Structure 1
């Protein structure tokens, strides 16, 4: 969907427009004046009277599309598509479906669109890569996001820029302003708020010297804080085009500049390349103050709205605006540019492959590389746009309508770290190659798998300040699990010693190191688990092997008590083996109490008692 309020133009009504037909006359007038909320009411009134023809359904779909109500837009587009419509409607319907997480249905509509406009760049890109979603989902997480506290509850807030300790943003919260018909909200104003070191904000205040009765914002500020560029309407300069057919005054979004003097913004001036014929908006000034990036639909644009740049000369004059070309711009809309201190351009696009609506992309202008989708959670299935970043504070901001209204979110870079896992043979101390190293989060979600190289090493990328679990597997060795506490440095080294599986298999018994139990307990100890893992390994590789477990106690206690205790120990042993994937039909257990002591002693030492507390593994079937 489009942020048309700031991408294209604004309209001042002179008189009513000519109706499309007598039934839709009132609704069509409102639609042509971009008063979509009121137009919806009129079109819905027609449907209540039984008028659900294709024209009315499509108009309702278009209205809801433009105010970003994806659920209702989907419903009315679906009804309109009972008849064949223009290609752009199929494209809009596909985008709506994608925003509603209906990717399969969206792809079907994109195929219809592609069949109608096969040479369209959007169709060509889709047909080249129709199964794009898994790759998007696999993009490494770059930022953590959080909705900030100064958002209004039901009005639009977006376009945040942090300069020093002041956050500038655009909002329609000012109830004293007149309402505009597009979303039936107050006209947009520029606000500012103080940013505290703890991440909180003070109550926002109007930047009164920049605001008018029309729309203003977003802004960009020079590194020294003395110059501001901002978007506003050309009506303030009495610049507009008269549409004699619709009898409208059509104004544009234009760019303006002001300087900071005695704590106030003053000397507001229109930039020389503004025009009443096209829009210029969403400024972003380079750190050196020599280049201004902006969005425009001026002649030479590739799509609806493109990213442009213009040189700012040392004398304050401007060069000729330059389109950033088809690596960045598409036949769709590209807008809300932000240029970082290290020359990374962030921008929003609905023409490049994304999750839905507008997505935020980045491109390294130092390398002339291709734009990259920033991925989730910055991007969602809704509109995500107006990304900015403050390098000094190491915090960014983005805008999104994922919660229903345009709201501002903070974006903190994910602090990445690395875990170097080195695996050795615990007996020979030699390095082990081809060990499968699995990294899991604290909730046991698998995050990735690596194989150790010739140096016995596996390097895993993780997020800082989080806990992880590392599992190491190699055939012929007891697998090992290690808990990694919260990573607090860029690189951590983890040494893993795998114990080789060395067991003796006799005619009627598998000989393991004793599976000892603690006194008066039946739980499997860490040492016992390591031995049982050897049994599991043998049984996994000998599919016909059937085992009977005999569990014993020491001589202390009554016969009845020890019989029960050994039975519980047998059950624990069997359950452990079954938990590792061995069929329950291949292993059984029985407790023998103190009836078969290994060492029959009257005054046994603790070591002798421990030897008697054991399990034995008898082969029933090979």
Structure 2
């Protein structure tokens, strides 16, 4: 499990010496040695023998809390709080209840925690955000998750992709010594090759980095030639001795290696490692100048904090700096990952979330406050080690939501907007209250909106699709946009509406310009659209109006050909009007060939021929 990566500084309730007795001595020793699996067996044996001590219940709750067994932790914490406990027990119990989706009960325990520790930032955040759950549930979903095929039945986590290689930590190396915290094998670093079809090769061990202790997760420089990774300080004979329990206590430390001839060499510990505190979970920025990591070193605000250190040009390091209380809380913050655009993702148990570790983001450029990125990335369980590869537009998440730490791909949900601005083509003024209709490529109406005072409407749409806009406003010729191809982000479209010229309506006719056609063609031209849209507007405002379309040709061509051509022109004119919403029963048309010339001529000019190729409109009713 990922708790292993922070190893021997797990948050647990300190064993009270007054609560210990001869009966709990063996169990307490195992507890202090972080052998939680065996400690649980000892404490359970005491319970089975009739021991109903609340101290034992509390110890069982804490063991299971540190092992990630939320159901068992809830059971024993519930028994322990029948007598007053210290603040950490109530806080841990609240987190366990949240992990079991019992948010109401968790709030009761957080209230008790806040009474005992009113000045703790976690208490303040809880009291001022009682509706936190509803706010989190309303957050927009940003990713789609899928469990990766590289997972095993052991802990797999901390995935990060460089080029086409996926690196991660795994406890699949069975057959050797197991870790007492969770009875799983020690962690090793593995790699898998990513293919263009989205598949992954069988993982292989990165043997030159792995030892008999824990390794991982990792972070690579932009050129892929430098790797930073977590391992144990035992590798450098760096440890503390616990003479009472006859223990050698190591820490998680950070190491660096250089790639040479395809292998990792020159493994060196970082200079700020210590036998007294941990340094782990590295993330190097794109320039290779700043290394982010997690640590409980002196100066930490909570149990584990996010830190950064400058990497000098000569390969040396500056002095680590805590990222401060905007990011770090009195709880644990870990698993930092910094993107190329300086967005920091990290996991927190101290900031408000669904339960366990939640993933947060913060823009380091603006100094904004951390943002819980919501579901489905976050759940009531532990969600951590979130990374992004923007070149391949894919992220990775580690989570124990299925009962064991697994790696999930996190594909960004592509969100797009179409911002349409409608203007008067003659005055360039914005047109408010214009009706803008959004259609898909099958001409299915998806939405209708009215423009605001700035002539704007905004449509939320899918990425990489074609959409069309139709714009209507009284007194203007209707307009249809060309296809709008959406991308991630915003597509802005400006539509210019032509004002409707004044139309003279008499008792017998509508005086409207005729529409003209290309030679030997029946297609509706751009000039014809402007005239016909005026007629559409007039007819939609006068529902009883009926129109007869007379279509004509010039004198070129044979009579029967011209008659057929004029019939096609009449039909295309009528079809256009009907397509725009004119009642088909109110419009009819007929072709007249060259029988009714507008310009009588023997040697006709091109202008004369063009004037004769037309459709005219007669009021029938």
TM-score, normalization by structure 1: 0.69
Residues 10, 250 of structure 1: 8 Å contact kept: no
5+ long unaligned stretches in structure 1: 12-17, 424-429, 440-446, 471-483, 496-606, 608-622
Number of equivalent positions: 467
Match of 1:382 in 2: 381
Kindly state the Cα deviation for residue 297 of structure 1 after the two structures are TM-superposed. 0.7
For the Cα contact (< 8 Å) 2:336–2:344, is it kept in 1?
yes
Residue 200 of structure 1 corresponds to which residue in structure 2? 199
CA RMSD of aligned residues (A): 3.4
In 1, distance between residues paired with 2:388 and 2:435?
41
Please say if residues 221 and 284 of structure 2, whose CA atoms lie closer than 8 Å, have aligned partners that are also in contact: yes
The Cα shift of 1:462 comes to 4.1
By how many angstroms is 1:128 displaced? 1.5
Alignment of 1:284-303 (within 5 A): 284-303=283-302
Distance 1:450 1:364, change over 3 A: farther
Instruction: Note if contact 2:227-2:257 (Cα within 8 Å) is conserved in structure 1.
Output: yes
The 1:27/1:465 distance shift into structure 2, 3 A limit, reads farther
Shift of 1:139: 1.7
Report if aligned partners of 2:2, 2:157 keep a CA contact under 8 Å in 1.
Answer: no
Report the equivalent of 1:214. Answer: 213
> C-alpha displacement at 1:451, in angstroms?
7.6
Q: Report the CA distance shift for 1:486/1:78 in structure 2 as closer, same or farther (over 3 A).
A: farther
Aligned equivalents of 1:437 and 1:91: distance in 2?
A: 53
3-state DSSP class of the match of 2:94?
helix
Partner of 1:574: none
1:511-533 Cα shifts (integer Å, max 9, x gaps): xxxxxxxxxxxxxxxxxxxxxxx
CA-to-aligned-CA distance 1:43-78 (integer Å, 9 cap, x gap): 222222222321121111111111111111111111
Deviations 1:434-490 (A, max 9, x none): 999999xxxxxxx9998853467542434436999x9xxxxxxxxxxxxx9997786
Secondary structure of the residue aligned to 1:231 is: strand
Q: Name 2:417's counterpart in structure 1.
A: 418
Structure 1 distance, partners of 2:330, 2:434, is 48
The answer (yes or no) to whether the contact 1:357–1:381 under 8 Å persists in 2 is yes
Deviations 1:205-256 (A, max 9, x none): 0000100000000001111111111000001111111123333211100000
CA distance in 2, matches of 1:449, 1:142: 26
Q: 2: CA distance between counterparts of 1:245 and 1:131?
A: 47
Checking the alignment, whether the CA contact within 8 Å between 1:10 and 1:233 is kept in structure 2 is: no
8 A Cα contact 1:437 1:452, kept in partner: no
Partner of 2:392: helix, strand, or coil? coil
Counterpart of 1:274 in structure 2 is: 273
The equivalent of 1:529 in structure 2 is: none
- Contact residue 155 and residue 172 of structure 2 kept, 8 A: yes
Alignment of 1:341-420 (within 5 A): 341-419=340-418
* Distance (Å, rounded) in 2 between the aligned partners of 1:381 and 1:182: 22
Give the number of the structure whose alpha-carbon radius of gyration is greater.
2
1:492 is displaced (CA, Å) by 9.2
What SS class does the counterpart of residue 22 from structure 2 fall into? coil
The equivalent residue for 1:57 is 57
* Matches for 1:213-292 after TM superposition, within 5 Å: 213-292=212-291
- Is the contact between residue 8 and residue 297 of structure 1 (CA under 8 Å) also seen in structure 2? no
Contact 2:435-2:448 within 8 A present in 1 as well:
no
Change (3 A) 1:419 1:101: farther
Q: What secondary structure does 1:298 align onto?
A: coil
- When residues 329 and 436 of structure 1 are mapped into structure 2, their CA distance, relative to the original with a 3 A threshold, is farther
- Residue 84 (structure 2) aligns with: 84
Asked whether the 8 Å contact 1:8–1:278 carries over to 2, the reply is no
1:187 aligns to what?
Answer: 186
Q: Residue in 1 aligned with 2:140? A: 140
Structure 1 window deviating more from structure 2 (160-169 vs 49-58): it is 49-58
Whether the aligned pair in 2 keeps the contact of 1:419 and 1:494 (CA below 8 Å) is: no
Indicate how the Cα distance of structure 1 residues 465 and 137 shifts in structure 2: closer, same or farther if over 3 A, else same: farther
Alignment partner of 1:23: what SS? helix
Q: 1:376 to 1:10 in 2, by over 3 A?
A: closer
